[in-house]
Amino acid sequence: MRTKQFKSESKKLMDMMINSIYTHKEIFLRELISNASDALDKLYFKSLTDNSVGIAADDFVIRIELDKDARTLKVIDNGCGMTEEELDTNLGTIAKSGSFNFKNDNEKVEDVDIIGQFGVGFYSAFMVSDEVTVESKAFGSDGAFRWKSKGADGYTVEPCEKADVGTVVTLKIRESTEDENYDEFLDQYRISALVRKYSDYIRHPIKMKYTTKKPVEGKEGEYEDVVEDRTLNSMVPIWKKDKKDIKPEDYNNFYKEKFFDFTDPIKVIHTKTEGQATFSALLFIPEKPPFDYYTKEFEKGLQLYSRGVLIMDKCADLLPDYFSFVKGIVDSEDLSLNISREMLQHDAQLKLIAKTVEKRIKSELEKMLKSERETYEKFFSAFGVQLKFGAYDAYGANKDNLKDLLLFTSSHENKYVTLKEYTERMPESQTAIYYACGETREKIDVLPQTDTVKSKGYELLYLTDNVDEFALKMLGEYEGKKFVNVCDNDFDLGTDDEKKELTEKNEAAKDMLAEMKKTLDGKVNDVRFTGKLQNHPVCLTSEGGISLEMEKVLNSMPGAKENAVKATLVLEINAEHPITEKLKTLFDNDKDTFTKYTKLLYDEACLISGKGLDNALEHSNLVCELMM
Ligand code: ADP
């Protein structure tokens, strides 16, 4: 019999398991039970359509056998089993689930954190045993085969005797050492505690022969061993249990193990719904986005069960995109077990469940916002962008649903604010909701246009995420108050008299302003005097709905180069600033310097707005010329 080599990645994993210093070696049992349970599910599925399986639903069972003398622990199932080829490929190669990302060889032994992060599968058995044997007979095949390995050196596969379909995994448990106690894995109390801890909700019975001491009848003080067959797990999935019987750490452990997170969820939603749609849902809002959350690779969805049997791992139709961060499971009585993916999409029952789930998530977020503000803000820092995107997406179809869940930073105490809070504390004289866009709060604060708003005591929203302004544009207004970008051309807080005076000034300087516009040669659509600036001489504003920020965002999208958008810009000059007198004098007497001043003022406006210079070299030459 030839010894086969493990595929190289499997060998590395095997090495890691054998040399593991991981403290939670006990998880090997969970892994083996979970494999056995999957195998039972597979055969159970088959039995629904294939009478030749010949096993009644209740007879699918996982069995654990301990033998202290032989130092063996067996996990036995009557599931689908494996053929010779399957033993070879499934156990000789690790399933490339994408979870593993091997570093180079010399890191392998220390780098055992991965064990805590992901389901490590079958190989974890080598953390506690010197030798692992898998005897299996696949459903539909005549012969049985034995896979055997003592570790990283390789494995053998040979025919063996096995009457029934299913799999027996036998671990030869290691001898205890000074540092490590392996004997505990041969102890019935310890094993049954481990089953309850990690595998309680497995829906098939996990049975074990259990020995207890009972008083011998009629003989006082004498005890005898009584062996009984015990089912160690409650078989009730956590989501089907009564809420009052579940501790917060039960939820947290379940979440972390099932959804591969290290951090407890920020919110657990456990709900049972009856009526039009009957289902239980156990939903989790993570504290932080998974590393791939904002990439194309991320797949949203909830695990979908039908009466406790998993029918789909990531059912996308159960979650709207704006709640795609939610993890969890839905278990329904109403769905058929062998429903196909295509049919599911059109399933009215599923749609009903999705609607209910969405409502529930929303109301839970509203509750959090109301009574756990700090938690909500933490949540919003992690996933707020997704909600804002939801308000904008689908032409604003969901904006009313989401508008009260949005938070923005504002000039009021430098805190997060809701639109409701903003409008409720608006002074009577204020007619609109003001915002400004920029990379950071600090950069926005230096925009000269923000001065008037702040000097009037109005609150300013700081829009620092790319999606922010798009979301507000889609909302259009909140409680009848329009959103106004203080960098828009038509933003003006002046009185009617002030506006009239300004029109007159513009009219009087018509020729000069037209000359400036000509000098700037298409860079701006207009040059105007303004009353909106306090101390600063100039600013850039935009007209026609596309702001400088939107220009930046839209043009940064893939494929935008061909159809670049341009904001229509206006150079506004502070009518009260001494520079206007200077300009007038130059216009009348020194056209050459007037041209240079015009270009410089435009450059200045570009710099302050965050747009940046069109031509830095030209600007630098210009400054030097004037300095000399
Ligand atoms: P995973 O379970 O994550 O796929 P494992 O290393 O635990 O990875 O198992 C590898 C594969 O071996 C499984 O996907 C399954 O196909 C097969 N397998 C393991 N244990 C059993 C079993 N008891 N019965 C049938 N197949 C099994």
Q: Atom 19, ligand 1: which residue's CA is nearest?
A: 35
The mean per-residue pLDDT over the stretch 332-336 comes to: 79
**Cβ count within 10 A of residue 402:** 24
Instruction: Judge contact between 601 and 571, C-beta under 8 A.
Output: yes
* Widest CA span in the chain: 127
Q: Token pair of 82, please? A: 């494996």
Q: CATH second-level architecture of 245-371?
A: 2-Layer Sandwich (3.30)
The three-state secondary structure class of 114 is helix
Angle between helices 468-475 and 548-555 (to 10 degrees): 120
> In the prediction, which pLDDT does 106 show?
41
Segment 47-80, tens digit of pLDDT = 988 889 999 888 999 999 999 999 999 999 999 9
- Asked whether 78 lines ligand 1 (CB < 6 A), one says no
Q: Atom 20, ligand 1: which residue's CA is nearest?
A: 35
The label of the residue with tokens 């329904």 reads: 332
Interval between CA 82 and ligand 1 midpoint (Å): 9
Percent of the chain with pLDDT over 70: 94
Concatenated DSSP letters for 241-280? S-GGG--HHHHHHHHHHHTT-SS--SEEEEEEE-SSS-EE
The label of the residue with tokens 């850039």 reads: 540
Interval between CA 418 and ligand 1 midpoint (Å): 50
> In the prediction, which pLDDT does 589 show?
95
CB-side neighbour CA atoms (13 Å) of 263: 9
The label of the residue with tokens 């009348």 reads: 588
CB-side neighbour CA atoms (13 Å) of 155: 29
Q: Atom 27, ligand 1: which residue's CA is nearest?
A: 35
Question: What ranges make up the beta strands (E) of 335-480?
Answer: 408-410, 416-417, 432-437, 460-463, 477-478
Q: Which of 10, 38, 86 to mutate to test the pocket of ligand 1 (most atoms within 8 A of CB)?
A: 38
- Asked whether 124 lines ligand 1 (CB < 6 A), one says no
Q: Token pair of 260, please? A: 């591969």
CATH of domain 2-231: 3.30.565.10
Judged on CB neighbours under 10 Å (0-12, 13-18, 19+), 622 is: middle
Interval between CA 397 and ligand 1 midpoint (Å): 45
- Asked whether 74 lines ligand 1 (CB < 6 A), one says no
Domains 381-485 and 496-627 agree in fold: no
Concatenated DSSP letters for 289-340? --TTTTSTT----EEEEETTEEEEEEEGGGS-GGGTT-EEEEEESSS-TT--
Could you tell me the pLDDT band of residue 96, with boundaries at 50, 70 and 90? very low
The three-state secondary structure class of 203 is coil
Query: What is the identity of the amino acid at 610?
Result: G
Q: Atom 15, ligand 1: which residue's CA is nearest?
A: 90
Instruction: Judge contact between 471 and 435, C-beta under 8 A.
Output: no
Whole-angstrom distance, CA of residue 91 vs CA of residue 106: 24
Whole-angstrom distance, CA of residue 37 vs CA of residue 29: 12
Interval between CA 39 and ligand 1 midpoint (Å): 8
Segment 449-508, tens digit of pLDDT = 898 898 889 999 999 998 999 999 999 999 999 999 998 888 888 888 999 999 999 999
Q: Is residue 112 predicted with pLDDT exceeding 80?
A: no
In terms of Cα–Cα distance, which of 456, 472, 455, 453 is closest to 464? Answer: 472
Mean pLDDT highest for which of 17-26, 106-115, 199-208?
199-208
In terms of Cα–Cα distance, which of 406, 418, 542 is closest to 467? Answer: 406
* 70: DSSP letter: T
Interval between CA 174 and ligand 1 midpoint (Å): 23
Whole-angstrom distance, CA of residue 158 vs CA of residue 145: 6
Instruction: Judge contact between 143 and 50, C-beta under 8 A.
Output: no
The three-state secondary structure class of 434 is strand
**Cβ count within 10 A of residue 397:** 11
Q: Atom 1, ligand 1: which residue's CA is nearest?
A: 121
* Fold category of 381-485 in CATH: Rossmann fold (3.40.50)
The label of the residue with tokens 């070879």 reads: 88
> In the prediction, which pLDDT does 104 show?
40
- 185 against 544, higher pLDDT: 185
Whole-angstrom distance, CA of residue 7 vs CA of residue 13: 10
CATH of domain 496-627: 1.20.120.790
Whole-angstrom distance, CA of residue 491 vs CA of residue 607: 20
Angle between helices 510-519 and 591-609 (to 10 degrees): 70
Atom of ligand 1 nearest to the CA of 166: 24
**Cβ count within 10 A of residue 534:** 15
- Asked whether 290 lines ligand 1 (CB < 6 A), one says no
Q: What is the dihedral of CA 476, 482, 486, 488, to 10 degrees?
A: 60
Atom of ligand 1 nearest to the CA of 34: 2
Domain ranges of the chain: 2-231, 245-371, 381-485, 496-627
Instruction: Judge contact between 17 and 124, C-beta under 8 A.
Output: yes
- Asked whether 35 lines ligand 1 (CB < 6 A), one says yes
Question: What ranges make up the beta strands (E) of 9-78?
Answer: 62-67, 72-77
Instruction: Provide φ and ψ at 236, rounded to 5°.
Output: -95, 120
> In the prediction, which pLDDT does 100 show?
44
Q: Token pair of 5, please? A: 């080599």
